[in-house]
Amino acid sequence: MKPIVTLKPLQHKNKSHIAIGFIFNETTKQYIKKFEGVAWSHTNKTFYVAQTDQTLHKLFTYLQKGGYYVDYKALKYVKKAVVTMTAKIKPPDKVTLYQGLNNTQKTMLKGYVTFLNGKRLSESTIASYGYFILRYLNHHRTIDNIDWNTGSIQFFMEEIIAKEHYSISSHRQCISALKHFTAFCNLENFDASDFKRPKKSNYLPIVLSKEAIIDLLQVTKNLKHRAIIGLLYSGGLRIGELLNLKLHHLDIDRSQIHIRQGKGRKDRVVVMSEVIKPLLLNYIHTYKPVDFVIEGRDGGIYSASSIRAFLKQSCKLAGINKPVTPHTLRHSYATHMLENGIDLRYIQELLGHVKPETTMIYTHVAQKDIMQIRNPLDVTVEELQLKGKDNKKVLISQNFIL
């Protein structure tokens, strides 16, 4: 069993410090004394260092490298008590992070990406996982990989993911990335398989009214922009599916749009709106795209950021104050179909959802059936009125004369 070193908060000479506690052992004492900046307090009878995040990280890695188990729960509780909500910390850019790695770590990162490619994960998943492991390697750049353990993972999650206020979805992605990474490294005591992903946040989707969709199309004067909005809404497309849509995927005669290798590598077919056909033909005749339906200036894939930018401007012109993204149009498509009486199973197929539970969320925002439910108070008053012999109107307030 590893010897334990306990880190606790210490107020000494009106300053915040970290007290270093351990069961007396001459070897441990000498090892701690060698740490840069360590001092002895005769008053508190303990070794200590100045309390900064940088010092804590160095001390943690130094003790781990010496073969000690570091118990720093007391420091975490203090941080929770004094922490306040702050703006999300902007992390260093990828180039800076990568340049901070040594050659061994760079080789390890490349090997990890190859490992993920071998599992046939999508490009976007590999990019996300690779970034989190880049951050992990940079955070532990002073520690040899043979000294990594589950404590190293926990420390990274607390100091980077939690402190920089990553979202729940990013936290879940990071755990998945680390699970793959520890499997790739295959090191003793370095295993993320028991780490639990936090539960997903369940938010109701933002949905535009049917009238707002028409307003949005009408105020968008640019033909290409209007065609993009029309396709996103009428096909219930994800933005990536729209950007990768090619001309031969459109079957105008059969009123079909073929989605190739959408999310989860699934092909599907959606119904093409009859109303959008003239708009789409006008756009194709005017812009003459060669390969992709929506092409950039150089003929390549159109920019997703450009779509978000003009959509924001169109919403402003239409007087729509909700936070609208391209995915909002997909949410609106699904919700409006449900309100139009389309069976949930068909909507699931059109959206390309693997699980019906994913599609079920739209039952919480569809208004047609909900608005038809009669309030029990109205029903009760009506029943009492029908039972009354004199058929007088039942009132629940005083009879005021207006």
Residues involved in catalysis: 238, 263, 327, 330, 353, 362
* Cα 24–chain centre separation: 46
Q: Are strands 4-12 and 69-71 parallel, antiparallel or unpaired?
A: parallel
The angle at the Cα of 184, spanning 179 to 186, to the nearest 5 degrees, equals: 95
Kindly report the three-state secondary structure assignment for every residue of 91-147.
CCCHHHHHHCCCHHHHHHHHHHHHHHHHCCCCHHHHHHHHHHHHHHHHHCCCCCHHH
Q: CB 239: neighbour CB atoms within 10 A?
A: 19
